[in-house]
Amino acid sequence: MSSLSQYNIDIEDAVRQKNSDALQDLLRMSSSHATAAMEQYVLQGGNVPKRLDDPWERLPEIVQKRFVTGAALNANNWVAAFDSLAEMVSQLASVVQYETAWCIPAFVTLCVDLRVVAEEADRQLVASKKKAAKLEAAERVLKKGFALTNNDRTAIEDGSKKIGTLGIVNQLLKIYFKLNNLRLCGNLTNSVNLRSAEYFESFPISHRATYRYYTGRLKLYEDKYGEAVKDLEFANENLPQHLELNKRHIMLFLIPAKILTGTLPSERMLHTLNMVWFMDIVKAIRSGNMGLFNKAVEEHEEFFIRKALYLAVEKMRPLVFRSLCKRVADMWMSNKIPLRCVERSLKVCGVGMEADEVECMLANLIFNGYIKGYISHKVGYLVLSKKKPFPNISERSKSIIKR
């Protein structure tokens, strides 16, 4: 029996038997069975599956679009592949609307494929001096898929199509991050967060881990460092061990989130993960070496900007200055420190700073809870609290939240 004939039989059987895994494997872009059938369909001609009972009367059109998409991918025409795949996903959505939840895994898989193909299509458009527009088009298709699954009123335990919601939300979050349009993430995360913890637990663990990775990054940008650590740690702990590249992506944001909550990674861990961007920054925070910090930020500035980490790294500057003040206080062995000593320490680090700049930085440290004390401008002293003048960063974070 030919590949095409067998493919038609297999996909018809998958629909009749409501075989979720089979349908998913037959429609996804990586399906070797679909590729073989597509090549025969294109080169030799042949039939597509026959129309089945409602709501699957559109199965022939769906399979035909799958073959058109596959042919475009074989020709390395990502733009054409996206256009036909977008139509295919829309056609499948019209079927899923009237189906039960058994076909949701296949639908979510095709939503993932749509986002991936859209990214490649945009690269091709940019390379040919045209406007990248396919990710935005994919977002419009995926939003309809999100509404389709999220609005299902069936209870989760009774087979709700809501089980596919988080998988589609993750694809939309990836698109918004790619397009640097983070303001649109709030509506999605709010729709998920409104659900109970039990509802969230019903999603596949891979979907939950991916979701918490993106919410962790969002919270890092919103200065909610403690919450960012919790979300990113969840993602790191629940991601399969073999996905090393994904784990590095998580650690790239988990490390700065932990630093900003007062937990510095060890030098050994940074070397093991090859996180070269943070090595000198952590050394600078430990030693209070503002010059080393400035040099490290300047050296990796382009990387930090590209990864949207520059602001998070800049917010580590007070930690370096705090450590410098602590070292000066330890050497002075008094709670009254002349401001000129702080100025001299900065100069030793290669950083020239006027007296009023030093006072301004110290005032910010005090206001933000990094140091307990006050500045005596008249006599030029920093007067530290006699009781725990350098509170733990985690304690400082809690006091800021209470304000």
Q: What is the pLDDT along the chain (403 residues), one digit of tens a residue?
A: 579 999 999 999 999 999 999 999 999 999 999 999 999 999 888 888 989 988 999 999 999 999 999 999 999 999 999 999 999 999 999 999 999 999 999 999 999 999 999 999 999 999 999 999 999 999 999 999 999 998 888 887 788 899 999 999 999 999 999 999 999 998 899 888 776 566 788 888 999 999 999 999 999 999 999 999 999 999 999 987 667 778 889 999 999 999 999 999 999 999 999 999 999 999 999 999 999 999 999 999 999 999 999 999 999 999 999 999 999 999 887 889 999 999 999 988 988 888 888 999 999 999 988 999 999 888 889 999 988 899 888 665 544 434 4
Chain mean pLDDT for the chain: 91
Is 239 inside a domain boundary? no
Contact between 355 and 313 under an 8 Å Cβ cutoff? The reply is no
Into how many domains does the chain fold? 3
Is 153 inside a domain boundary? yes
Indicate if 159 and 276 belong to the same structural domain: no
Indicate if 149 and 191 belong to the same structural domain: yes
Indicate if 41 and 143 belong to the same structural domain: yes
Indicate if 25 and 131 belong to the same structural domain: yes
Domain boundary among 188, 203, 218: 203
* The two structure tokens encoding residue 293: 């910090």
Is 86 inside a domain boundary? yes
Indicate if 47 and 143 belong to the same structural domain: yes
Indicate if 7 and 132 belong to the same structural domain: yes
Indicate if 290 and 153 belong to the same structural domain: no
Is 245 inside a domain boundary? no
Q: Supply the range of the domain harboring residue 303.
A: 267-314
Indicate if 49 and 115 belong to the same structural domain: yes
Is 251 inside a domain boundary? no
Q: If you count them, how many residues does the chain have? A: 403
Is 233 inside a domain boundary? no
- How many angstroms separate the CA atoms of 37 and 274, rounded? 44
Domain boundary among 150, 178, 203: 203
